[in-house]
Amino acid sequence: MKKCFFLMWLAAILGHGVAPAATLQNTDSQSYDLQIVETGRPFGSQYRIIENAQVEICFSGCVMIMVSTGQTVQVNPNDTVVIDSGVMSVTAGD
């Protein structure tokens, strides 16, 4: 029984760490509302990135739309998206 629990725990840890994600960083001192449309999903979701925050997002790639400006960027897993002075820029990952 303990061996089975250990194997399930190990699979959960390894499986969770394998999926790449994009990094979203807001360097501004204000928050922004984004519309996120994940690759392969028909509907988007609203997301708020708070000031000076960094999160992992878009595990299978996505389109990010900044609600206030309409700026749209295509994001792949492992990319880095930085919001600086209200503008998103994407740096390709590995």
For every one of its 94 residues, what pLDDT tens digit does the chain have, with 9 covering 90 and above?
444 444 444 444 445 455 689 999 999 999 999 999 988 787 889 999 999 999 999 988 999 999 999 999 999 999 999 999 999 999 997 7
The predicted model scores a pTM of: 0.75
Question: What's the pLDDT at 39?
Answer: 81
Radius of gyration of the chain (CA): 16
Is beta strand 22-26 parallel, antiparallel or unpaired with respect to 80-84?
parallel
* Chain Cα centroid distance, residue 6: 30
Question: What's the pLDDT at 10?
Answer: 44
| Residue 75 CB contacts under 8 Å (≥ 6 apart), including other chains | 22, 58, 61, 62, 63, 64, 81, 90
Question: What's the pLDDT at 80?
Answer: 95
